[in-house]
Structure 1
Amino acid sequence: MTLYIGREASKLWKRICAETSAESNLFIDNWKYIIAGFVFQYIHGVAARGVHYLHRPGPTLQDLGFFLLPELGQDKAYISETVFMFVFLSFFLWTFHPFVFKVKKFYTVQIWCRVLAYLVVSQTLRIFTFYSTQLPGPNYHCRPGSKLARLPEPDGVLEVLVINFPQGVIYGCGDLIFSSHMIFTLVFVLTYQKYGTRRCIKQFGWSIAIIQSLLIVASRKHYTVDVVVAW
């Protein structure tokens, strides 16, 4: 038994070393794209922070999803975030599985280059849309009477660039059309649809995406149109 474990551990270590070597070479060739993708995540955050200064709270707009789905309430708003974090972490870990398992259809560096490229394109479109039209936020902290619904004029550019993470991200307003959570979720699900190997997980991924869509609307974090446009 000890001999078997030692032999398998040796094989695993060799696989990890070989994969690390191959991925390192790919990273050297593609590091600029990876870094650019992560930098754009910050740019997207700055844009979302900036539109919060333009947000003007008002009555919640008439929405079909709000009519059909009961409101979860502030105390249950964490549910949609929990589902999103599950999707994000699951996908992140899956992209590194070639380091451990023999089944291989992609390189981790290449998959993240493609994922980040799709995220950049989607988020660029999102920035254009939420700056084109600012809707009164349906989320609880964006409604009239909330101290977080409007931001005072910034003292300077630096205040906008800092973003105030994570509060500025969690309690943002105005960046509605279209849902950033759905961008990530759908890009991840579509990526697994193309490169994943297990049919049951693909079906589960699409089910989670649908559930996430409903939870976002039920949590009043977005209007239904924000989710529909993301799809």
Structure 2
Amino acid sequence: MSLYIGREASKLWKRFWAEVTTEINLLIENWKYLLAGLICQYIHGLAARGVHYFHRPGPTLQDVGFFLLPELGQEKAYISETVFNFVFISFFLWTFHPFLLKSKRIYTVLLWCRVLACLVACQILRIVTFYSTQLPGPNYHCREGSKLATLPRPDNAVEVLLIAPRGILYGCGDLIFSSHMIFSLVFVRTYQKYGMQRFIKQCAWLIVVIQSLLIIASRKHYTVDIVVAWYTVNLLVSFIDYKLPELPDRTGGPALLLPLTKESRTKEENHKLLNGNSGDPVDRRLRTPVSSKILENGNTLHVDTMMNGV
């Protein structure tokens, strides 16, 4: 029993380091895209803080969601944040599953390049939208009488450029459309396309719907902020998916980006000697297995299978 556990642990360790090597190579090639995406996240945070300086509290606007959904109250506002954090953390951990699991469809670095591209496109449109018109915030700390509803004029540039967690939690003015919904919808759509568990996909969409209702019930956003996020994010992600090259699928065969281990290389060389093949084993692995025909340079070549070995 201990021998079996040790053997499986050794396989897991080799798989982990093979994946690390592959992802490092991909990171070297794509680090500029990841860095640009992270910088845009910071710019989005600055923009959300900047609009808080322009926010002026006023009467809460009439909203159909406020009439239909019971108000949770300020003491229960954490519920929607808890649901969002669950979605965020679950997706983040899932993107690293290729390091441990044998069944995989994605490369982590390439997937995050795609996710960040979707987030940046949505956030740019969001910045333009909430700077165009500032609405009185419906959240409790954004209402008239709250000291947090307006920000005093900054004394220096550091105060503007420094984004504190308190400023993120107690922001006002960045309403149309919801940033929480941007992240949740991008994550769920990504798992819908690249995930492999149908039940989890169904649960993920249900959770996002529940999160939408909780955000309105917590009075963190107007209903229009949620509705606009639903169709805007989905349309933008669909457009970006159409424009960007598709990620390599790892379920159809061996991962070509993964380095060959010593054991697998030895098996390839033995197979070549036994069958009299002179081609390189990597080149042979790149070919599509032949059953009845081969597609080469756009032309169809029929191959007759001979039973006599000639």
User: TM-score scaled by structure 2?
Assistant: 0.74
1:52-71 matched pairs, under 5 angstroms: 52-71=52-71
1:177-196 matched pairs, under 5 angstroms: 177-196=176-195
Distance in 1, matches of 2:37 and 2:143, equals 33
Distance in 2, matches of 1:102 and 1:162, equals 42
Distance in 2, matches of 1:128 and 1:156, equals 25
CA positional deviation for 1:36: 0.9
1:184-208 Cα offsets, whole Å, 9 max, x none, are 0000000000000010000000000
Which residue is 1:154 aligned to? 154
Which residue is 1:230 aligned to? 229
- SS of the residue aligned with 1:208? helix
Which residue is 1:203 aligned to? 202
1:94-133 matched pairs, under 5 angstroms: 94-133=94-133
Distance in 2, matches of 1:223 and 1:161, equals 28
Structure 2: tracts of 5 or more residues without a match = 231-310
CA positional deviation for 1:90: 0.3
Distance in 2, matches of 1:204 and 1:29, equals 35
State the AA in 1 paired with 2:194.
Y
Structure label with greater radius of gyration: 2
Distance in 2, matches of 1:157 and 1:118, equals 30
CA positional deviation for 1:54: 0.2
State the AA in 2 paired with 1:207.
L
State the AA in 1 paired with 2:97.
H
1:169-198 Cα offsets, whole Å, 9 max, x none, are 000000000000000000000000000001
State the AA in 2 paired with 1:30.
N
Which residue is 1:46 aligned to? 46
Identity level (%): 76
Alignment of 1:136 with 2:142, yes or no, is: no
1:65-89 Cα offsets, whole Å, 9 max, x none, are 0010000001000000000000000
1:135-189 Cα offsets, whole Å, 9 max, x none, are 00000000000000011111133211112x1000000000000000000000000
State the AA in 1 paired with 2:102.
K
- SS of the residue aligned with 1:85? helix
1:4-27 Cα offsets, whole Å, 9 max, x none, are 110100000000000000000000
- SS of the residue aligned with 2:135? coil
Size of the aligned set, in residue pairs, is 230
Distance in 2, matches of 1:214 and 1:167, equals 24
Structure 1: tracts of 5 or more residues without a match = none
User: TM-score scaled by structure 1?
Assistant: 0.99
Higher relative contact order, chain-length normalized (CA < 8 Å, sep 6+): 1
Distance in 2, matches of 1:103 and 1:177, equals 40
Alignment of 1:76 with 2:76, yes or no, is: yes
Distance in 1, matches of 2:24 and 2:157, equals 38
The list of structure 1 runs, each at least 4 consecutive aligned residues, that deviate by more than 4 angstroms after superposition, is: none
Distance in 2, matches of 1:94 and 1:152, equals 41
Distance in 1, matches of 2:182 and 2:195, equals 19
State the AA in 2 paired with 1:23.
E
State the AA in 1 paired with 2:227.
V
Which residue is 2:3 aligned to? 3
Distance in 1, matches of 2:183 and 2:115, equals 9
